[in-house]
Amino acid sequence: MPFNVWCGGCSSMIGKGVRFNAEKKQVGNYYSTKIWSFSMKSPCCQHEIVIHTDPKNTEYVIISGAQRKTEDFDVEDAETLLLPADEERDKLADPMYKLEHQGEDIRKKKEEEPVLVRLQRLSDSRHSDDYSLNRTLRDRLRVI
């Protein structure tokens, strides 16, 4: 399965990467690229699921028998950086806007710098001697 789906027959989830013995047949063309149809039985209730390839959008489309699980992405939960929007990028290119917000950026840097220094020291202390760390790990995992 190319993505997580909900089974249409019993409403159980089928995870991404689950393999199926699917019946494959060509159902059309997008320019010179073939559009394939995959028919398979759900492992939980033997309900038939049909998926087509979509070469135009380079993805798969569920035709029948299942519903794609929508997964919302939250930047804070994933602990990633939020990229600025186009308007914000345009503002950052403006020298006057940059000058007005430079003080706030310096204040943020001073607040976060001790945390970063502490994390760097912790990392250095834990990984300073690779030989002894490896030896300790091997001793713990060795079965006598």
Whole-number Å distance between alpha carbons of 36 and 59:
12
The range of the structural domain enclosing residue 20 comes to 5-68
**What proportion of the chain, given as a percentage, has pLDDT over 90?**
39
Q: Tell me, yes or no, whether 19 and 51 share the same domain.
A: yes
Q: Is a pLDDT exceeding 90 seen at residue 30?
A: yes
Whole-number Å distance between alpha carbons of 52 and 121:
53
List the structure tokens of 64: 């029948």
Of 3-12, 63-72, 85-94, 120-129, least confident by mean pLDDT is 85-94
Residue 29 located in a structural domain: yes
Q: Is a pLDDT exceeding 70 seen at residue 75?
A: no
Residue 143 located in a structural domain: no
Average pLDDT estimate for 92-115: 87
Residue 58 located in a structural domain: yes
Q: Tell me, yes or no, whether 64 and 21 share the same domain.
A: yes
Domain count, the chain: 2
